[in-house]
Amino acid sequence: MSADETRCGFVAVIGAPNAGKSTLVNALVGTKVSIVTPKVQTTRMNVRGVAMRGAAQIVFVDTPGIFRPRRRLDRAMVKAAWSGTEDADAILLIVDAQALVESPNGLAAADTHAIIENLKASKREAALVLNKVDAMKRADLLPLAQALNGEGAFSQVFMVSALKGDGVDDIADWCAGRMPPGPFLFPEDQAADIPSRLLASEITREKLYLRLHDELPYATTVETEKWEDRKDGSVKIDQVVFVQRDGQKAIVLGKGGRAIKSIGEAARKDMEAAFGRRVHLFLFVKVREGWVDDRERYQAMGLDYPGDE
């Protein structure tokens, strides 16, 4: 297939926190490229997933949730989300339809309407993706779809269940039709554009979010300090989990180290599936009180360091 026959481009996937962006991108790509947890603001950086659709290669950019930022890390995440749309050939705004119906004046609704206003001002082509519709009544869904579509910001509306994969093929076809002519940017069998060290950190962070409760996951970050390829084909990975206080360190470690051992075992299994090789994972927990204001931590997370406001 010559470059004259192929098409390739970028699709930014944006939305309020916990709308299902990462779940949708994983479904579109056909494999796990972004971590997913029930907690809001799990995604901290832009992650690119690559999907093939006939003669089109689509690079989906999974972005952090867009919301009203309060902390430095919040500002960095929201900035990363909007930066993901700058060079995109199309934009998908994904909305948790059930959350908007159940709480029309809640935070998710406020964040979504702010995003829509920004899209209208930019005059960029976007499609609306109403997610989690499988648990909704049609009588509730249609008025919501009509109201959001009436904003005049969307050229297409999709109703899907990203978790079940329902309606995902229609989105992929729409996106493929909007890719400009050009050569593929990635090998056809490549599913993600993320360094292995960073993906390993994200996998461990996902397990932290799933294991820990309340606000503690947001006080943690994970860095891959060492990556050693061994002669037998396996890899030895050393990672540091940074927390802000000694009390948090004790919780992450757990009684007798049971919590961190469980987190490490779950992370190792996912890494072995992702990298297709045996993984020897070693986790260390360190206290760094001001890591949320540490420029080096932002670089390690793949984020730009925002200045003081």
pLDDT in tens, 227-265: 999 999 999 999 999 999 999 999 999 999 999 999 999
The whole-chain average pLDDT of the chain stands at 92
Residue ranges of alpha helices (H) inside 188-294 are: 196-211, 246-253, 258-275
pLDDT in tens, 263-304: 999 999 999 999 999 999 999 999 999 888 989 888 888 888
What's the pLDDT at 307? 77
**What is the mean predicted confidence (pLDDT) over 179-197?**
92
Strand order in the sheet with 56-62: 156-159, 126-131, 90-96, 7-14, 56-62, 47-53, 192-193
Copy the structure tokens of residue 254.
Answer: 């757990």
What's the pLDDT at 71? 84
Does residue 2 surpass a pLDDT of 80? no
What's the pLDDT at 195? 87
Q: If DSSP codes are grouped into helix, strand and coil, which group holds residue 180? A: coil
Give the domain 195-300 fold.
GMP Synthetase; Chain A, domain 3 (3.30.300)
pTM equals 0.87
5 CB burial (10 A radius; 0-12, 13-18, 19+): exposed
Q: Could you tell me where in the chain the CATH 3.40.50.300 domains are found?
A: 7-176
What's the pLDDT at 4? 62
pLDDT confidence tier of residue 3, bands split at 50, 70 and 90: low
**What is the mean predicted confidence (pLDDT) over 106-118?**
90
CATH number for the domain running over 7-176: 3.40.50.300
pLDDT in tens, 153-185: 999 999 999 999 999 999 999 999 999 999 999
CA distance 129 to 1: 32
pLDDT confidence tier of residue 52, bands split at 50, 70 and 90: very high
Q: How far is CA 293 from CA 181, 217, 223, in A?
A: 42, 17, 16
**What is the mean predicted confidence (pLDDT) over 126-150?**
92
pLDDT confidence tier of residue 309, bands split at 50, 70 and 90: low
Q: Could you tell me where in the chain the CATH 3.30.300.20 domains are found?
A: 195-300
Amino acid at 264: G
CA distance 135 to 158: 16
